[in-house]
Copies of this chain bind each other. A is one copy, B any other.
Amino acid sequence: MVKQDTQREQTASMEHYLEAIAILSAGKRAVRVKQMSDLLGVTMPSVTSAAKKLSEQELTEHEKYRHIKLTPEGARVAGDIIHRHTALTRFFAEALGIDQATAEEGACKIEHVISPLGMERLAKFVEFMEACPMGGANLPGRYEYYLEHAELPPDCRMKGVKTR
């Protein structure tokens, strides 16, 4: 059973298109070129050409003048991208205290360049922050205090809490 190197690495651009298809096809079955061009802020020809490339890689199917849809493989890849997007957005919003919209924006840029390891660790970090009742649930709160007052919050100055 030869495991061939499928060599399916995408450019940031192609990932972006793939993601858009996944997002727009949530619910509906049909993704129109127009919808994509509107969402992504590019022209329709750009979408057409991206769809062509993705279809050559069998990540999408696109009948001419008709709608675009993901193949199972395409859905898998897109799912992965969206997963990155979500985790990054959470990190920016929940850990760094950046507003949702700006957090999304940031995630959009970084989701295409971050390494698998970086991604995994970042996700785990957010998880940890939220799960740990001490460093966790309150860390964002304390961090916000720090952001606002430019000094450590009172409870951080508390002594005697040994942690190892």
Chain A residues within 8 Å of B, Cβ to Cβ: 92, 95-98, 102, 105-106, 109-110, 113-115, 117-118, 121-122, 124-125, 128, 131-136, 138-139, 141-143, 145-147, 152-153, 155-159, 161-164
Contacts and interface: CB of A to CB of B under 8 A. Distances in A.
15 contacts: A92-B121, A98-B118, A106-B118, A109-B114, A110-B110, A113-B113, A128-B142, A131-B152, A132-B146, A132-B156, A133-B156, A134-B134, A134-B161, A141-B163, A153-B163
A162 to B, nearest CB: 7
A103 to B, nearest CB: 8
A150 B147 CA distance: 30
Contacts of A110: 110, 113-114
A125 B95 CA distance: 8
Contacts of A98: 117-118, 121
A60 to B, nearest CB: 25
A133 B157 contact: yes
Nearest to A112: B113
A81 to B, nearest CB: 15
Nearest to A153: B163
A128 B145 CA distance: 10
Contacts of A135: 134-135, 138-139, 142-143, 156
Contacts of A143: 125, 128, 135
Contacts of A157: 133
